[in-house]
Chains A and B, each alone.
Chain A
Amino acid sequence: MTKTENILKKAKDIQKKYSCFVTIADKIDTNGKGKLRGIAVSVKDNICTKGMMSTAGSKILEGYIPQFDATVVERVRKEGAMIIGKTTQDEFGFGTFSVNSAFGIPKNPHDIERTCGGSSGGAGCLTVLADFPHIAIAESTGGSISCPAAFTGTVGLTPTYGRVSRWGLIDYANSLDKIGVIGKNVKDVALLFSIISGHDPMDSTSLDVKQEDFTKYLDGKIGGLKIGIPKEYFEKGVDEKIKNLVMKAVKKLEELGAKVEEVSLPNTDYALASYYIIAMSEASTNLAKFCGMRYGLQPELKGNYDESFSNARKEGFGEEAKRRVILGTYARMAGFRDAYYLKALKVRTKVIEDFKNAFKKFDVLIAPTMPVVAPKFDEIAKLEPIEVYMMDILTVAPNLAGIPMISVPCGEVNGMPIGLHIMGDHLQEKKILQVAYAYEKVKK
C-alpha cells in the first residue's frame, strides 16, 4: 500500500468506530513541500475547504461545496500539509458535547460511552487516535477547543481574538470566534499556530501582527514567571480531584522557578450569562442568511418568501440551533435589547477588566479547564439546556475576553483525562506555550 492509501485507510477505520469525520478526503497529496510536509491536517467542518463539503455540522449546509479555501487552510496547504478531512462538531458550534451534530457524534477514545467534548469534538477524538503525524485545525467561541482537549487528553490552543484570520469560517458569533489548534503535544500545536496566525487583509478584525515561529520559544525555562491562581475557578461545582491534580501541576511549575500567588477575578460568576446572551444574539443574526435557496439544503420553493424560508429553516436546523435563534432574537428585540444584549456587553467589559488587572501582576493564570471529566452520553441526555451551558463556567470568561488559552493534559480522574488551563494576556501566546511546554516536559 502507498503511504496515501495507508493514511486514508487508517482514517476510515477510525471513523467506523468513533465517528470523528463528516468527510474524509478522496485523495491526499503527499508530495507537498514545506514545514508541514508529511503531516496530515484535519479541519473542523465549519472551516471552508475548496472542493470538500463544509457543513459546520448542520443539515442546512448538507452538500455545500466551497469554491475557496479559508485563509488557514490555504496557509497549511502552502506548507505542504495533507488535508485529510473534515471533523465532526456540534451544529455551528452550539454545544459542549458534540451531540448536537447532524453528521455523527464522536466517541471518546478513552471510553466510547463518553463524549469527546465540544464543539470541536471530532478534532480532539482524531488527535488521540491518529498514529500518523496529524494536527487538527479547530475553532472556539466559548470553550470549543479547551473542552475537547481536556476531555480527550490532548493539547488545545485558543489564540487571541483576531490573531488568526476568520476568513472562510462559517460564523457562530463574530466577536467571539477564534480558529485555533488541537494537537498531540505542545510542539505540534506551536508549529501549526505559527503557520495559521498573522494578519490577513481578508478579515477586517484581523490584528496587525506579523507571523512568528513559536516553536523556537519552547525551551522549558520558566524561572521568575508569575503565575496567578484565580480563586473563583476553584469554587463550588469543580470536582475536588480535578482541583487537586491542577494544584499538583502548579507545584511542579513552582519547582521550576515560577512564583505562585492567589488572585481574584470578581466578575467570573457573571461571565456565563454575559457570554450566552452575546453568543446567541450574534448567532441569531448569522443564521439569518441560511434560507435553503443558494447552497446546502434546498427544499422545493413553496409559498411566499416568508413561508418558503421558514420551512427550509425548520427542516435544516437542529433543536439547539432553533433554541439559540429564538433566544438570540428575543435578546435583541426592541424593549429587551437594553436589558439583555446591551447589559451583557457591559458586563463583558467588567470581565475583560478583571483579566487586564490580573495581568498587570501575573504572566499567566492557571485553573482547571473543565469542572468535571467527560460525562457519559446517557448522563448528557438527561441534562436541561441551562445545565449544559453551566458546564462552560471555566472557559467562557477567557473566551469572552478574547485572551489566549491553552489546555494541556494533567493526569486522570477515574481513568479519564483532565486539562490544565493556562491563560495569558492578549497576544501573549508565547508565554502560555512556554508554560505548557515546561509542564509537559516535567510531568512524566
Chain B
Amino acid sequence: MAEITEDTVKHVAKIARLDLTESEIKKFTQQLKDILEAFKKLDEVDTTNVKPSFHPQEIKNVLRNDEPKKWKWDSLANTKQKEGKYFKGPRAV
C-alpha cells in the first residue's frame, strides 16, 4: 500500500473541501500512518466470497408515490445569506 505523506493529506483535504494549517497537516500525516498501520489487522481476515454488509440487517429500498407535497417549513429560516426566495452562495465559476 502506498505510503501516507503530507502530500496525500493535502490532496485528501482538497477533495474533502477542508482547509488545514501546516501544523495540522504534519500532525494528521503521522496520526493517519499510526491509525492505518493498526487497521492493517483486517488483512488477516480471509474474506474470500464474503459479501459486504452495508447495514447490520438487510434493508429493503422504500419508495413513496411520486406525488408533489407541500413543504411545511421555511427553508430560508436559518440563513443569513439569502436574496428574495433564494440562498446566496459563493461564486461557482
- The answer to whether A and B interact is yes
Instruction: Give the residues from 57 to 93 in chain B that come closer than 8 angstroms, CB to CB, to chain A.
Output: 57, 59, 61-62, 64, 72-75, 77-81, 87-93
- CB of A357 closer than 8 Å to a CB of B: no
Q: Are the C-beta atoms of B54 and A310 separated by less than 8 Å?
A: no
CB contacts (< 8 Å) of A313 on chain B: these are: 17-19
Q: Are the C-beta atoms of A323 and B31 separated by less than 8 Å?
A: yes
Nearest chain A CB to B37 CB, angstrom units: 9
Q: How far is the CA of A90 from the CA of B73 in the complex (A)?
A: 29
Q: Mark A340-375, 1 if CB is under 8 A from B, else 0.
A: 101111111110100000000000000000000000
- CB of B22 closer than 8 Å to a CB of A: no
Nearest chain A CB to B11 CB, angstrom units: 9
Contacts A67-B77, A298-B79, A346-B51 given; indicate if A326 touches B16 (C-beta within 8 A): yes
Q: Are the C-beta atoms of A67 and B79 separated by less than 8 Å?
A: no
Contacts A270-B42, A384-B34, A402-B57 given; indicate if A295 touches B78 (C-beta within 8 A): yes
CB contacts (< 8 Å) of A67 on chain B: these are: 72-74, 77
Q: How far is the CA of A207 from the CA of B60 in the complex (A)?
A: 10
Size category of the A interface is 35 or more
Q: Are the C-beta atoms of A162 and B12 separated by less than 8 Å?
A: no
CB contacts (< 8 Å) of A310 on chain B: these are: 17-19
Q: Are the C-beta atoms of A294 and B78 separated by less than 8 Å?
A: yes
Q: Are the C-beta atoms of B91 and A305 separated by less than 8 Å?
A: yes
CB contacts (< 8 Å) of A327 on chain B: these are: 32, 35
Q: Are the C-beta atoms of B56 and A340 separated by less than 8 Å?
A: no
CB contacts (< 8 Å) of B32 on chain A: these are: 323, 326-327, 330
Q: Are the C-beta atoms of A385 and B31 separated by less than 8 Å?
A: yes
Nearest B residue (CB) for A330: B12
Q: Are the C-beta atoms of B55 and A402 separated by less than 8 Å?
A: yes
Which 6 residue pairs spanning A and B have beta carbons closest together? A402-B56, A345-B52, A308-B90, A295-B78, A314-B19, A346-B47
Q: Given A301-B90, A326-B13, A385-B34, 4 other A-B contacts at CB below 8 A?
A: A322-B20, A333-B15, A345-B54, A384-B31
